[in-house]
């Protein structure tokens, strides 16, 4: 996928870093075998959400900073915009964390 915005790149990186749940994933005492199945489904759903963010960032209200905009100077306005765009992708896990 070619990226137009920094948030698309960040969402793709996160989606690709979400590993599948192994069938022999060890479970804590007291958890049923169904937990593994549901955990795997949750993983798949979250990965799909990040991929969808990368496809249509406007629908998620992400900060749209042009991907071609690059800056090595961490004190520049361009760098701040890049980071704001990348960080806007973190709203999903931040929201899920707060709900838990």
Instruction: Answer for the pair 19, 25: CB distance below 8 angstroms, yes or no.
Output: no
Judge whether 24 lies within some domain.
yes
Q: What is the DSSP string of 6-21?
A: HHHHHHHHHHHH-PPP
Residue at 23 is within a domain: yes
Instruction: Identify the pLDDT of residue 2.
Output: 85
* Non-local CB neighbours of 58 within 8 Å, separated by 6+ positions: 64
The ranges of the chain with pLDDT < 70 are 71-72, 100
Residue 1 falls within a domain, yes or no? no
Domain that holds residue 92: 6-99
Domain count, the chain: 1
Q: Please, what is the end-to-end C-alpha distance for the chain in angstroms? A: 32
pLDDT value at position 72? Answer: 60
pLDDT score at 50: 94
């Amino acid at each position: 996928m070619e990226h137009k915005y920094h948030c698309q790149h960040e969402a793709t990186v996160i989606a690709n870093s979400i590993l599948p749940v192994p069938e022999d994933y060890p479970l804590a005492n007291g958890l049923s075998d169904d937990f593994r199945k549901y955990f795997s489904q949750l993983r798949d759903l979250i990965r799909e959400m990040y991929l969808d963010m990368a496809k249509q960032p406007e629908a998620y209200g992400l900060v749209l900073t042009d991907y071609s905009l690059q800056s090595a100077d961490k004190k520049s306005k361009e760098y701040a915009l890049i980071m704001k765009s990348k960080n806007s992708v973190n709203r999903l896990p931040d929201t899920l964390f707060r709900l838990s």
